[in-house]
Structure 1
């Protein structure tokens, strides 16, 4: 059970079973990642999950996280890794007041007003991608739609040159794999790319990257190079990977639960589909890494100081104490029944953008191809690491 929580390849829904069984077995499960790093996965109910996500004793400090991971790698004799990519000093890996300072620089690009200004472009791109899909043939919605659409949108927001985006996507996918021998070189290459982009002269000054490279706060402070690099990693990876996986998961769930035709007939059902997938089948399996600054009691078990933690979000959303018939996929639930976008100060900055992208794509797909069916007899394969769960492909037959 613990090893399965760490990651691997499964069929759709199998990771649900593993997470739910883990929650029933107990609140804490030691897992060892392929690089040899050990941490505890927390599987508790929704209420306690939200409390833990706001507990200041569970630190997000980049330096503390890197120290503990490097200590474990050295102790096990594993090769030392460059952790500056996923564990750099970004707003994701920081506590207040540093977190508030870094978040303030990016929030204007992702608030409600800014996202609504992107709506026409998202509509245009969704329509173009859907129009290009062939009718009556087997199509992989991951490769043809779920991956390219958010990559182009986040690329435009941040200022990634259009010709670089496909390669950046490949590097992200490789970096997020469970194989250190390929993920580390991909992380290094992506870091070199961001260094060149952020220190060169090609950035659009109106893009988010263009703004943050020159932004100075009220005290005359500006981001260091390490902070700029960490922000680049965070916004590109999180701004693309989460949306791509969510689009694929919602499309799969609508088909798998016989709700595709209903969404085609009534587009007003689409937001509910997105929320139920976020609860029932989230692309983000666990909140990103935390480390305890002192002993912390979790559901009756004391966790020592210096423990690396992952708080599982899928098991929390499907907790039977939070929802009646929690294992079922249903559209008659409220919108507050999950913590997939986090809770508290680290609530996902891009949640509104991810929702808008997914809802827009699904409306275009269902209205154009209302008779669509899943292809093949086997559930699609899911690849997952300690944080994300993503469909490798989603073969469908598009029908009017």
Structure 2
């Protein structure tokens, strides 16, 4: 059994990591399914690479979630001042807390974010998708990220939550600052404080004048006298907006990019639209929208794959690595839309499994069905000699996707 005191290899996340994390994960995996990794801020964290180990860790109650405690650990390890309390409040949503608080919040949110509400969105999503594709039809070359993959989910999630159209550009910029390039703490602070102010005003507007949208439903939902407080409503709105937008953008863009790198698979999928739901699962497995899970921490020594992770350590599950674990998926680095991709961890696992997974899947299925029908000869632009990716440990996302439409 390897102990932290035993000299051991420490991996590093450098600038080249973001362009191709899979290359790094393949090398790291040679030394085992659990690695110590130095992040860009200089702090060493533990990263779980294996599928079986990652799936177990995602559901392990010994790996805790409490954003205030995480921030205290990070500040101590970096020897920097802690995060602004208002920022911590914004991040105190159900993805960053444990039971019983998590159970209470998820139960209340699930009463408003129902399967029926999601299913009812299908005609509107199809309408938005068609309008976006019609809008670029007739052009030779477009940035499909900016013209399609971004506006589709941002329109859907903002309409779902009742964000006015005039305010969506600001929200989009704040989101990019919050999940984007590592190391830009000043931009993150400004974006989070702006988001707090905006969402607080939006929540109060819904409290005063409820409408037929999800946020109004969250404002009004309750059970046995319990209801979401204003800070909880702000944090929950933040989670739903960011998660509902950023993950779906990159599911659509990453999947399209992967498909266009394999024209034979593009044309096979276009010829068989019934296979698109299965193909979406493969896109999620092959290059999903989330690279590393949100952070967890240990309160006691934990043994994973003959490795001892001590108490008070920060732990991530590398979802991208787990989904390409050769012990789980044969030939994992090959895109195969016909394979059985079930069991992938792109949406997490356990009690923190993504609440919006059904919506993301539905949006992606609609998007790919329409895209392949509209542009049967779609291909990557010759100007795309290099591929630019976000410098984010959380998000796996492109910065642009130039394509030729014909």
TM-score (structure 2 length as normaliser): 0.90
Q: Residues 62 and 7 from structure 1, CA distance in 2 versus in 1: closer, same or farther, beyond 3 angstroms?
A: farther
Q: Relative to 1, partners in 2 of residues 1:80 and 1:7: Cα closer, same or farther, differing over 3 Å?
A: farther
Cα-Cα RMSD: 2.1
Hey, what does 2:4 align to over in structure 1?
Answer: none
Match of residue 94 from structure 1 = 97
1:128, distance to aligned residue in structure 2 (A):
0.4
Structure-2 residue corresponding to 1:281: 287
- The 1-side partners of 2:15 and 2:172 are apart by 21
Equivalent in the alignment of 1:103: 106
Secondary structure of the residue aligned to 1:25 is: coil
Contact 1:318 1:326 in 2 (8 A): yes
Displacement of 1:10 in angstroms is 4.2
CA displacement 1:75-115 (0-9 Å, x = unmatched)? x2x35433654772211011112111111222244443222
Give the whole-Å Cα distance in 1 for the aligned partners of 2:127 and 2:155: 12
State the shift of 1:325 in Å: 1.2
Distance in structure 2 (CA, Å) of the matches to 1:203 and 1:301:
54
> What is the 5 A alignment of 1:12-31?
14-31=20-37
Alignment check: 8 A CA contact 1:250 1:274 kept: yes
Q: Which residue of 1 aligns with 2:350?
A: 344
Number of the residue aligned with 1:145:
148
Q: Which of 189, 192, 196 is the matching residue for 2:194?
A: 189
CA contact (8 A) 2:75 2:82 kept: yes
Say yes or no: does 1:392 pair with 2:391.
no
Report what 1:161 is aligned to: 164
Measured in 1, the distance between the counterparts of 2:402 and 2:386 equals 10
Provide the rounded CA distance (Å) in 1 between the counterparts of 2:353 and 2:86: 22
Aligned pairs (5 A) from 1:45-56 = 46-56=51-61
Q: Tell me, in whole angstroms, the C-alpha distance in 2 between the residues paired with 1:295 and 1:58.
A: 10
Q: Does 1:171 align with 2:174?
A: yes
- Indicate the residue corresponding to 2:12 in structure 1: 3
The structure 2 residue matched to 1:329, chosen from 330, 335, 339, is 335
Pair 1:248-2:250 in alignment: no
Question: Counterpart of 2:302?
Answer: 296
Give me the whole-angstrom Cα distance separating, in 2, the residues matched to 1:351 and 1:109: 15
> Which segment drifts farther, 277-286 or 25-34?
25-34
Q: 1:214-253, aligned counterparts within 5 Å?
A: 214-218=220-224, 220-253=225-258
Deviation at 1:365, TM superposition (A): 1.0
Structure 1 gap ranges (5+): none
Write the distance in 2 (CA, Å) between the matches of 1:85 and 1:118: 32
1:271 aligns with 2:282: no
By how many angstroms is 1:309 displaced?
Answer: 0.9
Runs of 4+ in 1 over 6 A off after TM superposition: 6-9
Residue matched to 2:47? 41
Do 2:113 and 2:214's aligned partners in 1 also have CA atoms closer than 8 Å?
Answer: no
| Equivalent residue pairs, number | 391
Task: State how far apart, in whole Å, the 2-side matches of 1:164 and 1:203 are.
Answer: 18
| Structure 2 CA distance for aligned equivalents of residues 16 and 236 of structure 1 | 28
C-alpha deviation, 1:117, in angstroms: 0.6
CA contact (8 A) 1:254 1:273 kept: no
Task: Structure 2: state its 5+ residue gaps.
Answer: 1-9
Q: 1:364 to 1:163 in 2, by over 3 A?
A: same
Stretch deviating more after TM superposition (200-209 or 233-242): 200-209
